Chain A
Amino acid sequence: MLARRSVVRTLRQPLMVVPSLVFPLMLLSINSSGLDSTTRLPGFPTDSYFEFALAIAFVQGALFSANSAGTNVASDIESGFLNRLSLTPLRRVALMMGQLAGILALGLIQAVTFLLVGVAFGAGIEAGLAGAFVIVAMSLTISLAFGCIGAFVALRTGSGEAVQGVFPLFFAALFLSSMALPRDLIEIDWFRTVATYNPVSYMLEGIRSLVITGWDAEAIALGFACAGGLALIALAAASSALRTRMVRT
């Protein structure tokens, strides 16, 4: 029931759903038209910048999940809804799973939309139909990771404003990754180093490999490892914060 509530609540907020679809597609459109000449760089993995940039939409959409999850959790705290839930026999793990259902629903809508738009505008998914399913799975894992971070911030602070305040940091993480260029083509040393240690790079490269390379086991494994690892850490942190927040005796 809580999962259903979380999904319904998310889908009934167009201002939460629509920007998470429109802004990534806008950025994709701007990047792919403005940076197309980048494909002429020696060693660039594809001759279509649109295909290269398609992965960004999935990760950017997932960043909106963090905002969505965090805002919803903060709203439950601020309105006292969490207290109401605390007074029922509900277990904490069920509450956390319920909240995550909304994130996954939004993530699924995003992933399917970005895939369909990508294919409609000429992107070939090299890994085929099975690869498309893997892209959706990886995208959901990334959404889960960032959604849990958003939920963690909300549970720690109890404030929707705090969640909004953290949102730009996620974008900084995206911009300091291999978002615009493959890591080996980044010429600025510090930027390449940051991008190398930035897990977002591997999330992007995992999805990107399925679009432009095919079945690259290492890229896919790294993508899932980074997204899944981050999801586990964030889930543990959010669960701990929920334990503190629901201090019922």
Chain B
Amino acid sequence: MAGAAIEATALVREFKKGPRAVDGIDLRVEPGEVYGFLGPNGAGKSTTVHMLTTLLPPTSGSARVAGHDVVKEGAQVRAAIGAALQEAALDPFLTGREHMKLQTALHGMRGDEARERSETLLDRVGLTQAADRRVGGYSGGMKRRLDLALALVHRPRILFLDEPTTGLDPQSRSALWDEVGRLAADRGVTVFLTTQYLEEADVLADRVGIIHNGRLVAEGTPEALKAEIGRPSVEVVPADPGDLPRMRGVLARFGESVTGSTKGASVRLSGGDAQLADVVRALDAEDIHVEHLQLHAPTLDDVFLEKTGRSLEGQVEEQPTPAEPAVA
């Protein structure tokens, strides 16, 4: 594939009622890359995916996927991509094998080719044993794995996964991560993954784009983004909650305050982790007894906080904003 696998320029999507769900996004994802699109509910992740997968025309701007314009060459884009969108889109009255049979037929496969492809993919996602059970009885993880298998039927070069592990237990999440990692590493599939989980982006993505209120506010490898923040933070919880205001005053000498601690206070250490001993001495000098003290290396949440002024953690269970359900 020559050039970028996914390329978007000033991509905008407005809905009749509500703000701009996507507000001028520029993206470039290279072939074989796993790109993590990170943001809270309502940030514009799904709307972006719907535009890139041809399910929603952009209001303005342009995007090319697999070298084809998403507006003018929709059919060619769809032939090159696979997608597992939010909520596994399955028919509860059909079995896993019947889903595979339908999907292979819709992609023009017949006979042995269709059967072999179905069996290979069912085996790959660990659903061979459950293939003849109706999907209505599947667990969330099984549904997601079947959804992934269906998206891979026609051997797509680019795979869109819209919050593939939302609502899954840690074991199912980990299994799906393994499979996505294998796809990218062994098959060279480009993966565009939206997620609201920091850990998921950190583990899976070669590069991460952080989206907030429809805008891309940061982009880079997880390591580079965290290095940009650079300095660690220290979180301190006083033994006596009455000491909290005094403790905040002491901590303020060592750096800017950061949100995130519910019982205590956190500051980003302007002089790095070498200041930790000074913090302890200063608290001791003020006779503030400490219940808990922890040094945090920068995380993607720190990056998110730095770029948006809000923490991503704790927002993941929020309901979508009114702008996004139109395409969800």
Contact = CB atoms under 8 A, between A and B. Distances in A.
Contacts of B71: 249
B78 to A, nearest CB: 5
B106 A90 contact: yes
B90 A248 contact: no
B106 A89 contact: yes
B192 to A, nearest CB: 14
B98 A8 contact: yes
B252 interface: no
A9 to B, nearest CB: 5
A102 to B, nearest CB: 11
A192 to B, nearest CB: 44
A249 B74 contact: yes
Interface residues on A, range: 20 to 34
A61 B78 CA distance: 40
Contacts of A88: 78, 103, 106-107
Given A248-B55, A249-B57, A249-B71, A85 B98 contact: no
A129 interface: no
Interface string A181-194: 00000000000000
Interface string B75-118: 10011011101111111011000100111011110000000000
Interface string B17-54: 00000000000000000000000000000000000011
Given A247-B55, A249-B71, A2 B107 contact: no
Contact of A248 (B54, B87, B94, B150): B54
Contact of A12 (B57, B74, B87, B93): B93
Contacts of B105: 1
B56 interface: yes
Contact of A80 (B70, B85, B94, B103): B85
A88 B151 CA distance: 10
A87 B79 CA distance: 8
A113 interface: no
Contact of B89 (A1, A12, A83, A249): A83
A5 interface: yes
B272 to A, nearest CB: 47
B93 A247 contact: no
Nearest to B150: A84
Contacts of B72: 249
Contact of B75 (A13, A89, A247): A89
A5 B91 contact: yes
Contacts of A79: 87, 89-91
B69 to A, nearest CB: 9
A8 B55 contact: no
Nearest to A86: B55
A89 B106 CA distance: 7
Interface residues on B, range: 20 to 34
Nearest to A13: B93
A9 B91 contact: yes
B108 A247 contact: no
A56 B72 CA distance: 51
A171 interface: no
Contact of B102 (A1, A89, A247): A1
Interface string A67-108: 000000000100111011111111000000000000000000
A29 B89 CA distance: 42
Given A80-B85, A81-B89, A83-B85, A249 B54 contact: yes
Contacts of A84: 83, 85, 89, 150
Contacts of A86: 55
A80 B83 CA distance: 12
A247 B106 contact: no
Interface in A52-72: none
Nearest to B106: A88
B55 A5 contact: no
B98 to A, nearest CB: 7
Contacts of B101: 1
A80 B143 CA distance: 13
B199 to A, nearest CB: 25
Given A80-B87, A81-B91, A87-B83, A249 B107 contact: no
Interface in B141-175: 150
Contact of A87 (B78, B108, B134): B78
B81 A80 contact: no
Given A247-B55, A248-B54, A85 B106 contact: yes
A151 B226 CA distance: 51
Given A8-B94, A85-B106, A249-B54, 8 more contacts: A8-B98, A79-B87, A81-B89, A83-B55, A88-B103, A89-B75, A90-B106, A248-B74
28 contacts: A1-B101, A5-B98, A8-B93, A8-B94, A9-B91, A9-B94, A12-B93, A79-B87, A79-B89, A79-B91, A80-B86, A80-B89, A81-B89, A81-B91, A83-B55, A83-B85, A83-B89, A84-B89, A86-B55, A87-B53, A87-B54, A88-B107, A90-B106, A247-B57, A248-B54, A248-B74, A248-B78, A249-B72
List the 6 closest A-B pairs by CB distance, nearest first: A80-B89, A249-B74, A88-B106, A1-B105, A84-B89, A12-B93
